[in-house]
Amino acid sequence: MSEKNVSEIAIKAQELVELSEELLANDSLKLFDQASELSEKISGIVKDKKFSDGQFNKLYIQVQSKRLAAYRITRVQDVKINIHEIQNILASIPEKENYLDEIAELNVGLSEIYFQKSEFDKAIELLNETLKIAKKTSNSRTEFIAYNNLGRLYWQSSNYSDALVYFLKAIDASKKYDRCLEHYKPYNNAGIIFLSSGLMEKALSYYHKALKIADDFNDSFAKSVIYLNLGIYYTDIGDSEKTLEYYSKSLAEQQKINNKSGLAQTFSNFAVFYINSGEYNKAYEYALKGLETAKQFHSKYEIANAYSDVAIIETRLKYTDKAKENFNKALEVCKSINNVFTEIKIYDGLSELNKSNFKESLRYAKLSYDCAVKLDDKRLIANACHNLSGIFEGVRDFEQALKFKNELMDLRETMKSEEYQNKTAIMQADFEFRKAKERADILTVKNEELVRMNKKLEILNEDKNEFLGIAAHDLRNPLGAIIGNCNYLISICPKSEHPTEFLEILEDINESADNMLQLINKLLDINRIEEGNLDIVKVEFDLLTLLKEIIKSFERLLSSKTQAIEIKTSENAVRIFNDKNIIRQILSNIISNALKFSPPETKIEIAVIDSNSSVGIYIKDRGPGFPSMSEENLFRKYSVKFNKPTGGEESTGLGLSIIKKLSDLIGAEVSLHSTSPKGSIFRFEIKKV
């Protein structure tokens, strides 16, 4: 294949991909043939690899999706789609992550084929895979389509409660992206579920919600579908006037867009309405229009149904030969597409047509019964039992008549029970979904409020940190001047006239200024940590040597309170690689607290335990402990300020907070190992490397 031919195929494929759904519906048979031809050529290109690239991989997936959509609309049951070939080629396409949205669309199309083949498990599997893709790509529209189609599958499987849940999920998903026409579908489908369960008010409410969307977009196709369902609704409640009104509205909308499939279905509904009303001439008129339209549409499903309608009415009008001819035509088409539902309708019609011939009437009634059993449809089996009972009564075979009548009674009891259970399940599913949705909405509102509150707190925290930074810097400079001047005055104090009194005042000023400076430094430390402005400089050093240096810095305090510090370790040296200055600050704070809050003449014990990968330092004091304090609160700012130092020292309540923040910063762990009124043990653990 030449590059020119490949380029032409690409252009044609792109044109097909860009066709709207409306154009696809209006000429679906022609477009199906075109898509089939193109897909075959593109699959050859993809397999050949000579010209294959990302463009053709994507086009293959998109063209197959359009082909499947045309197939579904046309209902060309006699054309075979090789699903396995499509899936095999799809599996061979590399870098599928680049085409997730397209693959999701193709999965939807493939699931429709499985749906038509009544292979529901495979269809459900594909749609669940589509849902995963939708959530992965955050594609709300694909999520909407998957939920709606899952609802249709469960509905077709007579699992009405699960079907309803999926339709409601589709409605919920539709609110996540821009409002569009297709949003009417789950409302309409939910209406059908409620109607089938006898929840009439609910059904009407959902139909009108669907109609509102269709009206807003002024879409004739959508309106025709909803009008038709509203006609069925009014048929069920026995309002003939409203039934005709909505059937007529549906017909008018179908005629605007010349939708052959919709017209054929609407004509069929008119025919059934007039059959049930006993107006056979009107019914015949609509049935013939339905047949003519179905032939134009080339849909074997619609053609079989239309032939059947015509033949049923001809039976009532005593056009026996015509009826027989049309029943046989309908049966021939039905068998070619394996349409068992319409086949049952035809056998019932033929049984009625031959009611004067017992054997023939019985033969067709039994064929209808066998087909209904094959479908395992209780409603159809019950109808077949009713017909068979009537036939046997007519020839006075009461034993056989009673047999089928008993079966009919049993079926009616079962259906009545199932109808009640189904109605209850639908109501329960609707209630539980709404409660779950309500809870989710409340959580969403709460989460949004939390996000707003967190944002405000972040701004307040930033303002606070900025204020502390400015205030602390502005206070530290004059304090440095005060301390410097005090030290100078202390040095010349012996030369004054009142050295002792003057010296005490200066020392008080100096000590107070020094305490304030320590508080400011701690505030600045916390500010730097919280803003992430504290640099970590890792070096290798001996932890035991550092510990001894720290203890030496407390000699004056130890002496003033007659306290002692004892180090217990079996090691001569413990080498670690981390920030030496930060670890010095952490251990200094813990030891400082131990000395401050332990009574005079007590001993602080420090145990150093070296393992293969980490070092643990346990510092035991003789303080009052933290009997009612959780560990989470213990390391919060200002949380333990109610404990007073035993030697009149100052305490800011910031030390443990700084210890915790610095430990987290360098990957260390600090915790309250144990506590009692006779003392506490703090654990500091850090990895060697």
3-state secondary structure 58-113: HHHHHHHHHHHHHHHHHCCCCCCCCHHHHHHHHHHCCCHHHHHHHHHHHHHHHHHH
Q: If you average pLDDT over residues 200-212, what whole number do you get? A: 95
Give ∠ CA 468-474-479 in degrees, rounded to 5: 115
Interstrand relation of 669-676 and 679-687 (parallel, antiparallel or unpaired):
antiparallel
Q: What does DSSP assign to residue 81?
A: P
Q: Is residue 328 part of a domain?
A: yes
Distance, C-alpha 370 to centroid of its chain:
44
Residue 262 has φ and ψ, to the nearest 5°, of -65, -40
Q: Is residue 58 part of a domain?
A: no
Interstrand relation of 603-610 and 614-620 (parallel, antiparallel or unpaired):
antiparallel
Whether residue 289 is found in the same domain as residue 361:
no
pLDDT at 442: 80
Whether residue 679 is found in the same domain as residue 543:
yes
Return the percentage of the chain with pLDDT > 70, whole number. 77
State both tokens at 194: 């409620």
Judge whether 408 and 176 are in contact, CB under 8 Å: no
In sequence order, which residues have a C-beta less than 8 Å from that of residue 110 and are 6 or more positions away? 68, 83, 86, 87, 126
672 burial (CB, 10 Å; 0-12 / 13-18 / 19+) is middle
Helix axes 140-156, 184-196, angle to 10 degrees: 20
Compute the distance between CA of residue 204 and CA of residue 1 in angstroms, rounded to an integer: 58
pLDDT at 238 over 70: yes
Residue carrying the six token digits 């203890």: 551
Compute the distance between CA of residue 146 and CA of residue 124 in angstroms, rounded to an integer: 9
Complete DSSP assignment for 559-606? HHTT-EEEEE-S-S--EEEEEHHHHHHHHHHHHHHHHHHSPTT-EEEE
Compute the distance between CA of residue 153 and CA of residue 164 in angstroms, rounded to an integer: 11
Q: Which domain holds residue 227?
A: 185-258
Specify the number of domains making up the chain. Answer: 5
Residue 332 has φ and ψ, to the nearest 5°, of -60, -45
Q: In terms of pLDDT, which residue wins out, 578 or 30? A: 578
Residue type at 653 in one-letter notation: G
Q: What is the CATH number of the domain that holds 550?
A: 3.30.565.10
Q: Which of 258, 288, 323 is the last residue of a domain?
A: 258
Region of poorest pLDDT, from 47-56, 63-72, 180-189: 47-56
Q: Is residue 273 part of a domain?
A: no
Compute the distance between CA of residue 428 and CA of residue 424 in angstroms, rounded to an integer: 6
pLDDT at 422: 79
Average of per-residue pLDDT values in the chain: 82
* Buried b or exposed e, range 528-565, using 16+ CB within 10 angstroms: ebeeeebeeeeeebebbebbeebbeebeeeeeebebeb
Whether residue 543 is found in the same domain as residue 654:
yes
Compute and round to an integer the Cα radius of gyration of the chain: 43
State both tokens at 132: 């995963």
pLDDT at 34 over 90: no
Select, from the ranges 55-69, 173-187, 445-459, 652-666, the one with the highest average predicted confidence (pLDDT).
173-187
Select, from the ranges 38-42, 375-379, 389-393, 625-629, the one with the highest average predicted confidence (pLDDT).
389-393
Whether residue 345 is found in the same domain as residue 206:
no
State both tokens at 505: 């005042």
Whether residue 379 is found in the same domain as residue 481:
no
544-560 pLDDT per residue, tens: 999 999 999 888 888 88
pLDDT at 372: 93
Residue 157 has φ and ψ, to the nearest 5°, of -85, 5
Whether residue 607 is found in the same domain as residue 678:
yes
127-142 pLDDT per residue, tens: 999 999 999 999 998 9
Q: What does DSSP assign to residue 98?
A: G
State both tokens at 668: 């260390």
Compute the distance between CA of residue 178 and CA of residue 381 in angstroms, rounded to an integer: 46
Q: In terms of pLDDT, which residue wins out, 618 or 677? A: 618
639-678 pLDDT per residue, tens: 544 456 665 555 556 678 888 888 988 999 998 877 777 7
Question: How large is the greatest C-alpha to C-alpha distance in the chain, in angstroms?
Answer: 145
Q: How many CB atoms lie within 10 A of CB 51?
A: 18
Compute the distance between CA of residue 15 and CA of residue 443 in angstroms, rounded to an integer: 46
Whether residue 527 is found in the same domain as residue 646:
no
614 burial (CB, 10 Å; 0-12 / 13-18 / 19+) is middle
pLDDT at 78: 44
pLDDT at 543 over 90: yes
Compute the distance between CA of residue 10 and CA of residue 6 in angstroms, rounded to an integer: 6
87-124 pLDDT per residue, tens: 666 666 666 677 788 778 778 878 887 887 778 888 89
Question: Euclidean distance between the first and final Cα of the chain, in Å?
Answer: 64
Whether residue 659 is found in the same domain as residue 520:
no
Q: If you average pLDDT over residues 454-467, what whole number do you get? A: 74
Whether residue 502 is found in the same domain as residue 557:
no
Select, from the ranges 249-258, 291-300, 553-562, the one with the highest average predicted confidence (pLDDT).
249-258
421-433 pLDDT per residue, tens: 878 888 888 888 7
Nearest in space to 291 (alpha carbons), one of 320, 317, 314 = 314
Q: Which of 418, 437, 469 is the last residue of a domain?
A: 418
Q: Is residue 661 part of a domain?
A: yes
Whether residue 346 is found in the same domain as residue 375:
no
Compute the distance between CA of residue 377 and CA of residue 370 in angstroms, rounded to an integer: 11
pLDDT at 188: 95
Q: In terms of pLDDT, which residue wins out, 154 or 58? A: 154
Compute the distance between CA of residue 106 and CA of residue 109 in angstroms, rounded to an integer: 5
pLDDT at 554: 87
In sequence order, which residues have a C-beta less than 8 Å from that of residue 549 and are 6 or more positions away? 584
Q: What is the CATH number of the domain that holds 499?
A: 1.10.287
Residues listed for the chain: 689
pLDDT at 454 over 90: no
153-202 pLDDT per residue, tens: 998 887 888 999 999 999 999 998 888 899 999 999 999 999 988 889 99
Distance, C-alpha 61 to centroid of its chain:
25
Q: Is residue 673 part of a domain?
A: yes
Whether residue 517 is found in the same domain as residue 494:
yes
Compute the distance between CA of residue 527 and CA of residue 523 in angstroms, rounded to an integer: 6
Q: Is residue 671 part of a domain?
A: yes
Q: In terms of pLDDT, which residue wins out, 396 or 675? A: 396
Q: Is residue 338 part of a domain?
A: yes
State both tokens at 560: 């003033």
State both tokens at 572: 């001569």
Region of poorest pLDDT, from 201-205, 283-287, 524-528: 524-528
pLDDT at 58 over 90: no
Whether residue 345 is found in the same domain as residue 291:
yes
Q: In what order do the strands lie in the sheet with 614-620?
A: 564-568, 603-610, 614-620, 679-687, 669-676
Q: Is residue 208 part of a domain?
A: yes
Residue 652 has φ and ψ, to the nearest 5°, of -95, -20
Compute the distance between CA of residue 227 and CA of residue 213 in angstroms, rounded to an integer: 13
State both tokens at 224: 């025709």
In sequence order, which residues have a C-beta less than 8 Å from that of residue 653 and are 6 or more positions away? 637, 638, 639, 640, 641
Q: Which of 498, 519, 534 is the last residue of a domain?
A: 534
pLDDT at 327 over 90: yes
Judge whether 315 and 350 are in contact, CB under 8 Å: no
